[in-house]
Amino acid sequence: MNAENYRTIIQSYLGQAFAKGLDFLKTSIPARLEGDNLVFRAFGANCYVNQDGVFLNESNEEGPKGVLVSLYVLHAPSDEITALSSWRAFRDLPNTMPYWGAFRSNTEEPLIPFVEKIFSLRSKICEWLGGYIEDNTPGDFAFVVFPLPKLPLLYIFYLPDEEFPAEAKCLFADQYPFMPVDALADIAEYTSRLMIEFAKKGDIP
């Protein structure tokens, strides 16, 4: 898909979203208002959204991440996020079977070589992506991150030992499947890529 097609899709989603009104969007995202800009965190960056586009760290995002942010702005529900206690694997969400293989290959498996590095950086990753360490899970360590304000992801990791290799899993909050499943898969993939880049550099990309 070329840049013009991405721009057209982003503008379509934003047009539908802004038709709901700024007050609604401020609550549903949630975001703060700076003039006509809705301001929040997205993919570890400062995000500004207005009717002209999506801006991450002041750069106009006219690619896939811009599409995902604009789609989130359109679909984010008005209800407040509640306590997170129930999680589902991607393949357990409705209508995900066609995407499961790609999800595993693009979101979970690429993390495996970096599990030990991610373990050492887990607190910084949580701070950067607005998350927290989660102790009440299987695995050797786990954390919840928020690539988008109302879209938490639970990552569960197993460190390698003499018997078993490292492993990584990404789960979705049971009560928040408000995005199309292909978009959920893409959001998780980009989040994993960010963590891998962080692990390689040892700092915010």
Q: What is the rounded distance in angstroms from the CA atom of residue 91 to the CA atom of residue 99? A: 8
Query: What's the residue count for the chain?
Result: 205
Kindly give the confidence (pLDDT) of every residue in the chain, 205 residues in length, as a single tens digit, with 9 standing for 90 and above: 666 889 999 999 999 999 999 999 999 999 999 988 999 999 999 999 999 999 999 899 999 999 999 999 999 988 877 667 789 999 998 888 888 899 999 999 999 999 999 999 999 999 999 999 998 888 999 999 999 999 999 999 999 988 899 999 999 987 666 889 999 999 999 999 999 999 998 776 6
Domain boundaries, the chain: 3-75, 87-201
Would the pTM of this model clear 0.85, i.e. be above it?
Answer: yes
8 Å CB contact between 61 and 4:
no
141-148: strand order across its sheet:
87-89, 167-173, 151-158, 141-148, 132-133
